[in-house]
A and B are shown apart, each in its own frame.
Chain A
């Protein structure tokens, strides 16, 4: 089984709809992240959480919100989806205490979101 899972894998929705993307991990990592990827722009950080009680905005948080329900679960919500939120969304996890403190990030399979 995959260590980091995302649901749904693909989603088509309409402008103005609320949508939630979910991320679960079995790696036991405290740190979790949400990124979006657009062609030619690389990965951009939306929100990140270093533990259940810690939520931080990334570089492009406007129009998004998150919830850290447990160590293993981190959800991303679009309260009112708009077409320019069409992108590939990735969840990632990391553990700063593992591997000599490298805090390597491991990515889920991604969710392809299309907003019409």
Chain B
């Protein structure tokens, strides 16, 4: 079992729709959770971080964390073609403090 798992996609949504990206993790001691966006050939950039159970909203983005289910998600409202990218879920391990990345989900927003 991979430590951090994401569906590689591609996930295709029409412009204006809600895109839902999911991530599961195996280390129950994990404390910090991050979503990065990566355009093709570019470096990852941080979109959201979340540390407590529940929802965290920032503009069109909402991160959701459920530690009991070991599940973190990212919702993108009013999706735009410019949101088309690969979204990386990253989890900070409970013991080592290192970030473990999922393989990423490719999102395609069609005009």
Contacts and interface: CB of A to CB of B under 8 A. Distances in A.
Contacts, number: 45
A108 B43 contact: yes
B34 A43 contact: no
A1 to B, nearest CB: 15
Interface hub of B32, B44, B46 (most chain A Cβ within 10 A): B44
Contacts of B101: 42-44
- The binding surface of chain A is classed by DSSP as strand
Given A42-B101, A42-B103, A42-B104, A102 B32 contact: yes
Interface in A1-54: 40-45, 48
Contacts of A90: 43-44
Nearest to A48: B98
Contact of A103 (B41, B42, B88, B97): B97
A112 B104 CA distance: 19
A63 interface: no
Contacts of A40: 8, 103
Contacts of A45: 98-99
B44 A107 contact: yes
B39 to A, nearest CB: 11
Given A43-B101, A102-B32, 12 more contacts: A42-B101, A43-B44, A44-B101, A45-B99, A58-B98, A90-B44, A103-B97, A104-B46, A107-B43, A107-B44, A109-B42, A109-B43
Interface of A: 40-45, 48, 58, 88, 90, 102-110, 112
